[in-house]
Structure 1
Amino acid sequence: MKKPAKTREELESAIRMEMEDICEWPTDLAISVAPHEDSWKVVIMTEGPQDAERCDMIETIADRLRSQFDLKA
């Protein structure tokens, strides 16, 4: 069965909204959703050192969303 598809912007927004429910979103952190093989991945960009705990939370959210949604072409 095919999963529903969302745009990059919709997936990025969903990740941000879930993270904001958990903790404050840092101003120096940006995420981007990119196609990866037959699915998608989240790319985390920051101006300073990466917060490993926050990155792990983002990856966990992305993993769950990846199992629910495909990336709309």
Structure 2
Amino acid sequence: MKKPSKTREELEAAIRLEMEDISELPTDLAISVMPCEDTWKVAIITDGLQDPERSTMIEAIADRLRSQFDLKS
């Protein structure tokens, strides 16, 4: 069964919103969704040091969303 599709912007907003709901850590970073083979992946961009805790949290959110949504072309 085909999963519903969302745009990059919709997926990025969903990740950021969920992250802000579950964490008190600042969200002063960029989250970018990009196609990867037959699915999509997330890139985390920050001006400072990358925080492993935030990165792990974002990857977990993206993994769950990836199982629910395809990336709209």
Deviations 1:1-57 (A, max 9, x none): 000000000000000000000124332x11100000100000000101100001000
Asked whether the 8 Å contact 2:3–2:70 carries over to 1, the reply is: yes
Give the superposed CA RMSD.
0.8
Aligned: 1:61 with 2:61: yes
Q: 5+ unaligned residues in a row in structure 1: which ranges?
A: none
Give the TM-score taking structure 2 as reference length.
Answer: 0.94
Q: Equivalent residue for 2:4?
A: 4
Q: Which runs of 4+ in 1 moved over 3 A?
A: none
Distance 2:53 2:13 in 1: 20
Equivalenced residue count is 72
Identity of matched residues, %: 72
Task: Compute the TM-score of the two structures, normalised by the length of structure 1.
Answer: 0.94
